[in-house]
């Protein structure tokens, strides 16, 4: 097996708003032949559409296909019908370094 940084990004990145302040980010995992090394995982990056700073979460299980972010400030009040937009993207990594990010996509909260 070749040991180098990953060259394949996750596909079908998307997501939706869950309940009680959940933002659920999903993707299709990378196939094992593209891990190119040990300690393969994902970095999930997301931010509100109009924010500058990204939030990052590291996932060390290569079979994982979703991440649930819980934040009480995301909760929708009964009189608040505002839909928030989030930019999301996911990249791969292994023991040799980081791979490429997926294309960035927009996720709406709530649905």
* Domains of the chain from N-terminus onward: 11-109 (2.60.40.10)
Burial class of residue 111 in the structure, from the number of CB atoms within 10 Å of its CB (0-12 exposed, 13-18 middle, 19+ buried): exposed
Residues 35 and 57: their CA atoms lie apart, in Å, by 19
Query: pLDDT tens digits, the chain, 111 residues: what are they?
Result: 568 999 999 999 999 988 878 899 999 999 999 999 999 999 999 999 889 999 999 999 999 999 999 987 665 555 555 678 999 999 999 999 999 999 999 998 765
Nearest-angstrom CA–CA distance, 43 and 47:
13
Other C-beta atoms within 10 Å of 74: how many?
18
The single residue listed with the structure tokens 């990052």 is 56
Contact assessment for residue 28 and residue 12, using Cβ atoms and an 8 Å cutoff: yes
pTM for this entry: 0.88
């Amino acid at each position: 097996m070749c040991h180098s940084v990953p060259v394949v990004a996750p596909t079908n990145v998307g997501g939706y708003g869950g309940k009680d302040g959940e933002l659920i980010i999903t993707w299709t995992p990378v196939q094992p032949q593209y891990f190119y090394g040990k300690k393969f995982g994902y970095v999930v990056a997301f931010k509100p559409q109009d924010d500058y700073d990204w939030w990052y979460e590291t996932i060390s299980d290569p079979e994982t296909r979703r991440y649930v972010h819980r934040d009480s400030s995301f909760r929708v009040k009964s009189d608040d019908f505002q839909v928030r937009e989030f930019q999301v993207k996911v990249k791969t990594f292994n023991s040799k370094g980081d791979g490429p990010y997926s294309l960035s996509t927009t996720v709406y909260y709530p649905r």
